[in-house]
Structure 1
Amino acid sequence: MYNRVRRRKVAEINVVPYIDVMLVLLIIFMVTAPLITQGVKVDLPKADSEPLDKDSKTPLVASVDAEGNYYIAEGAGKNKRVSAEELAIEVAAQLQLDPKKPVVVNGDGAVSYDAVIQLMVLLQKAGVPSVGLMTDMPEK
């Protein structure tokens, strides 16, 4: 007969590779997190308002800065400067993909009331049924 040596099975999990992967992901997220918060510098007016529901879809954000330039959110905190016509075309295209997508205006507090109204009229002509206005919470 053959002499077989039975080896015991090891029931341990080597977690070192998982820790290495976790640390690499942590470094990646730490580096990319500040990049996500980029956007148009807009000083929002202060108002005591209700935030959007947590269950609602991510809104499409149209911005107007203090100089009256238009921007549209491209996702991940990035905004693209567009003309009035490009903004209307982009919003109409987004609404064709998702007609129930909420649209909000991100207007600088220093911009004229007329510029915000012109943006809202532009959005209405693009087919937006209702527009929300973004605000910051007032400091208490």
Structure 2
Amino acid sequence: MLMAPPRRRRRPVAEINVVPYIDVMLVLLIIFMVTAPLITQGVKVELPKASAKPLSEDSKPPMVASVNRDGEYFLNIADDPEAPMSAQELAVLVAAHLQVEPETPVVVNGDGAVSYNQVVQLMVFLQRAGVPSVGLMTDNPEQ
């Protein structure tokens, strides 16, 4: 009877192969680099120029109520932030959000070409929705 030669046990390799992780990271990096310029927050408006102190980085992300040059209202926390809405719908959404998170700052993003009356009307609707104070967004005049 023939005896089988004794099997040698393989020792486990104690190294981690990181090459697949590097490949995945490079693919994700490329995806983020391509998609980052496509992601815009809010509606394209031509902000008036003024020098002002920016919001502190410790504060919560603000709710941005926008009015474009055509007088259409937008809200960055709406289901579709780029879809125009009525001022009443905007006020209802802001009031509901403030009940959940009352410390959220609210800013108005008004196009420089829109009439002053439209911006004031938006601020009135925000006040009726229970917003304690409203900030105004501007662009830096040095840019």
Q: What TM-score range do you get, normalising by the shorter chain?
A: 0.7 to 0.9
- When structure 1 is superposed on structure 2, of 98-107 and 5-14 the one drifting more is 5-14
- The 3-state SS of whatever aligns with 1:106 is strand
Check conservation: 1:62, 1:103, Cα contact below 8 A. Answer: yes
Aligned-partner Cα distance in 2 for 1:74–1:35: 18
Q: 1:38 to 1:99 in 2, by over 3 A?
A: closer
Offset from partner CA, 1:91-136 (integer Å, 9 cap, x none): 1111111011100000011111111111000100011000000011
Give the match's secondary structure for 1:136: coil
Q: Cα distance, 1:26 vs. partner?
A: 1.3
CA distance in structure 2 between the aligned counterparts of 1:6 and 1:88, rounded to whole angstroms: 73
Identity, % of aligned pairs? 70
CA-based RMSD of the aligned residues comes to: 2.0
The residue identity in structure 1 corresponding to 2:8 is: V
For 2:14, the equivalent position in structure 1 comes to 11
Structure of larger gyration radius: 2
Work out the CA distance in 2 between the residues paired with 1:44 and 1:90: 24
Structure 1 stretches lacking a partner, 5+ long = none
- Counterpart of 1:63 in 2: which secondary structure? strand
Q: Which whole-Å CA distance do the structure 2 matches of 1:11 and 1:20 have between them?
A: 21
Per the alignment, residue 53 of structure 1 pairs with 56
| Structure 2 equivalent of residue 101 of structure 1 | 104
1:80 alignment partner, SS class: coil
Counterparts of residues 67-82 of structure 1 (less than 5 Å) = 67-74=70-77, 78-82=81-85
Q: Which has the higher strand share?
A: 1
| Count of residue pairs the alignment pairs up | 138
Task: Write the distance in 2 (CA, Å) between the matches of 1:16 and 1:45.
Answer: 50
TM-score by length of 1: 0.88
- Alpha carbons 1:73, 1:80 under 8 Å: kept: no
Which residue of 119, 127, 141 corresponds with 1:138? 141
Q: Give 1:10 deviation, angstroms.
A: 2.8
Contact 2:42 2:75 in 1 (8 A): no
